[in-house]
Amino acid sequence: MMRWNRLIMWTMFTIIMTCVAMAVSGLITIRWTATTALSGQARLGIAVMIAFIFMSPFLLRGPSSGLVGPISNAFTYVTYFLFVCVFLFFCFMIARDVVWIILKICSFPVPSPFQTDAVLKANVALLAIVIVLAGFSLYEGTRVPQLKEITLYSEKIKEPLKIAVLPDIHIHRALSRSKLRQIIDRTNAERPDVIALPGDIIDDRADTITDLVPMLADFRAPLGVFVVDGNHEIYIGTADAQSEFKATHLTYLYNESREIRPDVRIAGVPDIQSNRIGRPVDMKRALPETQAYTVLLAHTPKMFDMTDNTADLQLSGHTHGGQIFPFHILAWLSNRYLSGLFHHHNRYLYVSRGAGQWGPQMRLFAPSEITMVTILPK
């Protein structure tokens, strides 16, 4: 049943991405070729090529893909780089043309947005800008996340508590082993009391990441390393993910909590999409009444608003802070909480931009992070 649900999810995703690819390639082709003498067949060929570039990372990295190895990984980076170039060009082209048309309507001294030479020059200039931004985003996505520190206070806390927060590592076959090693070492060097991994830690089939997942066992925290399901654990199979977590001695939380100190409990619930596969979120079970300070690991930030959520602090990820601008807008509209610290009625939510990336190993105006949340007695 779960495999069938995952297949449905992937099929729906593919259909949606195909429709988006057709719209993107069509509009880009029109804007590049409408003022030229190219034949209809040539324009169709350009549109198909752009659509293929846009879709190739997803089609070649499907759940059943057998592509593994250095050459495959290099190919993955190239296809994602081209995908991001197409995406950025489309977004900036639409924004540019809207502004251009408005300026022309308002009688500003600008050439017509339909003049052949003007359109060609504008497109070439935009393409150069996009390539530079894509190169920068590739650097941002492949570098080791920077440390970020947050300090909170509570009357329930008797002595300082330091929590390392690392959602969205997204371990997959193209992730650099060196980068994962540096993420683990940088986290351990801060000597946190607890390490929290709020979902989307594993993002590939177990047989393709056998050299990466065992490294999770190297996380060190005296009060424990805790993990919950994100939506990508659901996509690859919660049973498989849970098996991998247990093999690396991580404490897997499913609608439950653990007392780690007399004054602190750590709770965890699966991602909200777990409801679709017959493993519903049970916030009441995860958060029993207690006088202790309760930290909840919940992958999706909007779970902060659930009626039964009584946690003092919720740690989430999922949004990646938008990852690649202007996805920030969609991530905010979808999740309400994009990134950072939020406060509501003596309860806190911290949304991390994540320690890794989904899809393209690229970030634009949303750098990855390893967050140290320190809670002090008030």
Same domain, 114 and 164: no
Whose tokens are 């979808």? That residue is: 334
Same domain, 241 and 297: yes
- C-alpha distances in angstroms, 142 versus 136, 245, 368? 10, 24, 10
| Six token digits for residue 25 | 């390639």
Same domain, 171 and 209: yes
| Six token digits for residue 369 | 């992070």
Sheet arrangement for strand 225-227: 146-154, 369-377, 161-165, 194-197, 225-227, 251-252
Let me know: does 261 contact 290? Beta carbons within 8 Å. no
Can you tell me the distance from the alpha carbon of 39 to that of 52, in angstroms, rounded to the nearest whole number? 20
- C-alpha distances in angstroms, 1 versus 4, 252, 377? 5, 22, 47
| Sign of torsion over alpha carbons 269, 270, 276, 278 | negative
> What count of other Cβ atoms lies within 10 Å of the Cβ of residue 23?
13
Beta partners for residue 145, in sequence order:
none
Q: Which residues of 28-44 are buried (b: 16+ CB within 10 A; e: fewer)?
A: bbebbbebeeeeeeebe
Same domain, 174 and 72: no
Check residue 158 and give its pLDDT.
93
Beta partners for residue 90, in sequence order:
none
Same domain, 274 and 364: yes
Domain limit, last residue, from 141, 169, 193: 141
Which CATH number do you get for residue 317? 3.60.21.10
Same domain, 95 and 18: yes
Nearest of 368, 32, 47, 57 to residue 200 by alpha carbon: 368
Let me know: does 270 contact 234? Beta carbons within 8 Å. yes
Domain limit, last residue, from 141, 175, 199: 141
Check residue 53 and give its pLDDT.
82
Q: Which helix (H) or strand (E) holds 297?
A: strand 293-297
Same domain, 224 and 97: no
Check residue 270 and give its pLDDT.
92
Same domain, 107 and 230: no
Q: Which helix (H) or strand (E) holds 324?
A: none
pTM over 0.85: yes
Check residue 2 and give its pLDDT.
53
Same domain, 134 and 154: no
Domain limit, last residue, from 86, 115, 141: 141
- What is the extent of the structural domain holding 214? 145-377
Check residue 7 and give its pLDDT.
67
What's the mean pLDDT when you consider all of the chain?
Answer: 88
Residues 126-178: pLDDT tens digits?
Answer: 999 999 999 999 999 889 999 999 999 999 999 999 999 999 999 988 888 89
Same domain, 165 and 44: no
DSSP secondary structure, 202-241, as one string: B-S-GGG-TTTGGGGGG---TT-EEE---HHHHHH-HHHH
Check residue 63 and give its pLDDT.
47
Nearest of 128, 126, 133, 129 to residue 31 by alpha carbon: 126
Same domain, 96 and 150: no
Can you tell me the distance from the alpha carbon of 252 to that of 270, in angstroms, rounded to the nearest whole number? 10
Q: How many domains does the chain have?
A: 2
Same domain, 121 and 157: no
Low pLDDT (below 50) residues in the chain: 63-64
